[in-house]
């Protein structure tokens, strides 16, 4: 018995050491300073936000009342149908992107040569092009072009790398294929939210390293950038994050080395690998990127650290933060004023990028961005 206890103790020490030495990323506390533009809608949350928060109660119901073995399927169904009754001014076409399923999203008058690859969020476990149509339709209107929403493979049925590879295939395909068939893209953007923001930022760096046609710009909404889960706000904002808190709060109670081992086993990739933790990668020579995050969400410091580190590397990356907001609040448009404001800021950013790369195109995008700021009630 004594030998067994000793062996277990040694194994525990070794596992702990491996986590600290091999799995933990570098100390990024130097990049924690506040930065970027701050937006405020008042000292207290608005009635609009209160209604949004109330609508999220279904997530807690699923987590609390559905047996664990059925929970992922139930959450997928809940998220896919969250906006199912919403009337959206866009057309949707399913498409095969060299073996990867996707959906073209076309706002009225969309130019098929202007293309955005949109990567949905959902913790790598859920979400689809259907669940994010309120966002993809807005990106089509804001850019005046077509949006390709990629339906990448999800965990746990597939390894984390499968979804990454699907996004890479879809990006290559989008460069030469539009909604009306073969044709080279005139402008290209990459965008994503939450887990999709992680995939988008990882993709942008991969595109640079592969020597492919660089996106004109990228947009990441509340992205996960550090899969080692080292950002201070993961715990500091646990209680104020009404969306991620109920879903992932229990994980924050585990010791850091345990979380690192769980991440390594679950993802089959070292948590500090830039493929899944873009904040630890080479952030130089990136295209213009806009990151938006809430000041009360768990992933705030993921955004802050990524932006600060990218700017230190010389890349034109900017951060915009809003107070009070829920995780990826932009999806709640047009009912949430701050969602409309955030989308208008995205429109301004993309218009400026388009104008710099081709002066004749900026006016179209800017007009669409302004119109999106005041949608019909």
pLDDT above 70: residue 222: yes
| 297: annotated active-site residue | yes
pTM of the model: 0.90
Evaluate whether 309 touches 339 at the Cβ level (below 8 Å): no
Measured between alpha carbons, how far is residue 152 from residues 96, 169, 196, 211, 212 in Å? 12, 10, 10, 23, 21
CA 365 to chain centre: 22
- The answer to whether residue 2 sits within a structural domain is no
* Mean of pLDDT over the chain: 88
Q: How many CA atoms lie within 13 A of 85 on its CB side?
A: 2
Could you report the per-residue pLDDT of 294-306, keeping only the tens digit for each? 999 999 999 999 9
pLDDT at 358: 63
The CATH number of the domain holding residue 198 is 3.40.50.1820
Is 98 within the bounds of a domain? yes
In the predicted structure, residue 325 carries a pLDDT above the cut 90: yes
Domain that holds residue 230: 30-373
User: Active-site residue among 120, 132, 324, 327?
Assistant: 327
**Better-predicted residue by pLDDT, 274 or 40:** 274
Residue 284 lies in a domain: yes
pLDDT value at residue 21: 57
Question: What is the number of structural domains in the chain?
Answer: 1
> Of residues 271 and 24, which shows the higher confidence score?
271
Say if residue 367's pLDDT is above 60: no
The reply to whether 263 falls in a domain is yes
In a domain, 23, yes or no: no
Can you read off the two tokens belonging to residue 210?
């592969």
Contact at 8 Å (CB) between 260 and 228?
yes
20: in domain: no
- Asked if 335 and 50 touch (Cβ cutoff 8 Å), the reply is no
In this prediction, residue 145 has a pLDDT band, given cuts at 50, 70 and 90, of very high
* Residues constituting the chain: 377
pLDDT at position 83 is 93
pLDDT score at 19: 56
Q: Give the active site residue among 131, 137, 187, 194.
A: 194
Reported as a pLDDT band with limits 50, 70 and 90, residue 375 is: very low
Give domain status of residue 241, yes or no.
yes
Mean pLDDT calculated for residue range 53-64: 80
Q: For residues 203 and 258, is the Cβ–Cβ distance under 8 A?
A: no
- 194 catalytic residue (yes or no): yes
Q: Is 41 a catalytic residue?
A: no
Is residue 22 included in any domain, yes or no?
no
Q: How confident is the model at residue 134 (pLDDT cuts 50, 70, 90)?
A: very high
Query: Which of 103, 295, 297, 338 is an active site residue?
Result: 297
pLDDT at 376 over 90: no
What pLDDT does residue 264 have?
A: 74
């Amino acid at each position: 018995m004594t030998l067994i206890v000793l062996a277990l103790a040694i194994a525990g020490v070794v596992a702990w050491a491996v986590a600290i030495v091999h799995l933990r990323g570098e100390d990024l506390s130097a990049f924690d300073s506040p930065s970027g533009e701050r937006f405020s809608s008042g000292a207290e949350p608005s009635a609009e936000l209160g209604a949004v928060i109330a609508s999220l109660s279904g997530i807690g119901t699923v987590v609390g009342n559905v047996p664990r073995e059925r929970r992922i399927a139930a959450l997928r169904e809940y998220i896919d149908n969250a906006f199912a009754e919403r009337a959206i001014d866009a057309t949707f076409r399913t498409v095969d992107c060299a073996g990867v399923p996707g959906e073209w999203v076309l706002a009225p008058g969309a130019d098929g040569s202007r293309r955005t690859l949109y990567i949905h969020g959902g913790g790598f476990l859920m979400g689809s092009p259907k669940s994010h149509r309120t966002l993809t339709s807005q990106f089509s209107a804001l850019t005046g072009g077509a949006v390709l929403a990629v339906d990448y493979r999800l965990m746990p049925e597939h390894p984390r790398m499968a979804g990454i590879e699907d996004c890479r295939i879809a990006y290559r395909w989008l460069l030469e294929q539009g909604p009306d068939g073969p044709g080279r893209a005139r402008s290209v953007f990459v965008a994503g939210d939450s887990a999709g923001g992680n995939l988008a930022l990882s993709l942008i760096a991969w595109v640079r390293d592969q020597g492919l046609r660089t996106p004109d710009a990228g947009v990441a909404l509340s992205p996960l950038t550090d899969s080692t889960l080292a950002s201070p706000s993961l715990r500091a904002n646990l209680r104020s994050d009404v969306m991620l808190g109920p879903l992932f709060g229990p994980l924050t109670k585990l010791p850091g080395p345990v979380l690192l081992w769980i991440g390594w086993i679950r993802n089959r990739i070292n948590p500090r690998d830039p493929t899944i933790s873009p904040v630890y990668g080479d952030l130089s020579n990136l295209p213009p990127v806009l990151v938006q995050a809430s000041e009360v969400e768990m992933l705030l410091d993921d955004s802050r650290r990524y932006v600060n580190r990218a700017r230190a590397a010389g890349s034109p990356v900017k951060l915009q933060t809003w107070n009070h907001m829920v995780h990826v609040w932009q999806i709640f448009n047009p009912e949430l004023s701050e969602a409309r404001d955030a989308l208008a800021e995205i429109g301004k950013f993309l218009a400026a990028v388009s104008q710099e790369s081709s002066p004749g195109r900026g006016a179209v995008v800017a007009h669409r961005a302004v119109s999106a700021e005041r949608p019909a009630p």
